[in-house]
Copies of this chain bind each other. A is one copy, B any other.
Amino acid sequence: MAKELTTREDNYSQWYNDIVTKADLAENSAVRGCMVIKPYGYAIWERMQAALDKMFKDTGHQNAYFPLFIPKSFFSKEASHVEGFAKECAVVTHYRLKNDPDGKGVVVDEQAKLEEELIVRPTSETIIWDTYRSWIQSYRDLPLLINQWANVVRWEMRTRLFLRTAEFLWQEGHTAHATKEEAIAEAEQMLRVYAEFAEEWMALPVLRGVKSANERFAGAVETYCIEAMMQDGKALQAGTSHFLGQNFARAFDVQFLNRENKLDYVWATSWGVSTRLMGALIMTHSDDNGLVLPPKLAPIQVVIVPIYRNDEQYRLTCDKGREIKQQLEAVGIRVKLDDRDTQKPGFKFTEWEFKGVPVRLAIGPRDIEQGTVEIARRDTLTKEFASIDGIASTVQLLLETIQRNLFQKALDFRTANTKPVDSWEEFKEQIEKGGFLLAHWDGTPETEQAIKEETKATIRLIPLETDREPGVCVYSGKPSAGRVVFARAY
Q: Which residues of A contact B (CB under 8 A)?
A: 29-31, 34-39, 42-43, 46, 62-76, 82, 86-99, 105-106, 108, 117-120, 127, 130-131, 140, 146, 150-151, 153, 155, 167, 169, 342
- Choose from B67, B75, B97 the contact partner of A34 (Cβ within 8 Å): B67
Given A75-B106, A106-B76, A155-B95, do A35 and B89 touch, yes or no (CB 8 Å)?
Answer: no
Taken together as a complex, chains A and B put the C-alpha atoms of A91 and B96 apart, in Å, by 7
Is the beta-carbon distance between A151 and B68 smaller than 8 angstroms? yes
Besides A30-B130, A35-B67, A91-B108, 5 new A-B residue pairs in contact (Cβ under 8 A), listed by A number: A30-B74, A31-B118, A68-B167, A75-B97, A82-B106
Given A73-B105, A93-B91, A106-B86, do A43 and B63 touch, yes or no (CB 8 Å)?
Answer: yes
- Choose from B63, B75, B76 the contact partner of A42 (Cβ within 8 Å): B63
Q: A243 CB to closest chain B CB, in angstroms?
A: 23
Taken together as a complex, chains A and B put the C-alpha atoms of A449 and B103 apart, in Å, by 28
For A43, the chain B residues whose CB sits under 8 A away are 62-63
For A35, the chain B residues whose CB sits under 8 A away are 67
Is the beta-carbon distance between A31 and B71 smaller than 8 angstroms? yes
Is the beta-carbon distance between B89 and A96 smaller than 8 angstroms? yes
Can you list 30 A-B pairs, Cβ within 8 angstroms, ordered by A? A31-B67, A31-B69, A34-B69, A36-B65, A36-B131, A37-B64, A38-B64, A39-B62, A39-B64, A42-B63, A46-B63, A68-B120, A69-B90, A69-B167, A72-B105, A72-B108, A73-B105, A75-B97, A86-B99, A88-B96, A89-B95, A90-B94, A90-B95, A90-B118, A91-B94, A91-B95, A92-B92, A97-B119, A120-B120, A151-B151
Q: A146 CB to closest chain B CB, in angstroms?
A: 6
For A71, the chain B residues whose CB sits under 8 A away are 30-31
Q: A89 CB to closest chain B CB, in angstroms?
A: 5
> How many copies of this kind of chain does the complex include?
2
Q: A88 CB to closest chain B CB, in angstroms?
A: 7
Taken together as a complex, chains A and B put the C-alpha atoms of A70 and B151 apart, in Å, by 15
For A30, the chain B residues whose CB sits under 8 A away are 67, 71, 74, 127, 130-131
For A95, the chain B residues whose CB sits under 8 A away are 88-91, 155
Taken together as a complex, chains A and B put the C-alpha atoms of A218 and B285 apart, in Å, by 46
For A92, the chain B residues whose CB sits under 8 A away are 90-93, 120
Taken together as a complex, chains A and B put the C-alpha atoms of A46 and B93 apart, in Å, by 32
Is the beta-carbon distance between A29 and B96 smaller than 8 angstroms? no
Given A31-B127, A127-B31, A130-B30, do A65 and B93 touch, yes or no (CB 8 Å)?
Answer: no
For A68, the chain B residues whose CB sits under 8 A away are 34, 120, 151, 153, 167
For A169, the chain B residues whose CB sits under 8 A away are 65
Taken together as a complex, chains A and B put the C-alpha atoms of A105 and B251 apart, in Å, by 13
For A150, the chain B residues whose CB sits under 8 A away are 151
For A39, the chain B residues whose CB sits under 8 A away are 62-64, 146
For A29, the chain B residues whose CB sits under 8 A away are 66-67, 127, 131
Is the beta-carbon distance between B36 and A70 smaller than 8 angstroms? no
Taken together as a complex, chains A and B put the C-alpha atoms of A65 and B167 apart, in Å, by 11
- Choose from B72, B108, B131 the contact partner of A97 (Cβ within 8 Å): B72
- Choose from B42, B64, B86, B119 the contact partner of A64 (Cβ within 8 Å): B42
- Cβ-closest chain B residue relative to A53: B46
Which of A30, A62, A82, A169 counts the most B-chain CB atoms under 10 A from its CB?
A30
Taken together as a complex, chains A and B put the C-alpha atoms of A119 and B90 apart, in Å, by 11
Given A36-B67, A151-B68, do A105 and B76 touch, yes or no (CB 8 Å)?
Answer: yes
Q: A135 CB to closest chain B CB, in angstroms?
A: 9
Taken together as a complex, chains A and B put the C-alpha atoms of A37 and B34 apart, in Å, by 26
For A76, the chain B residues whose CB sits under 8 A away are 105-106
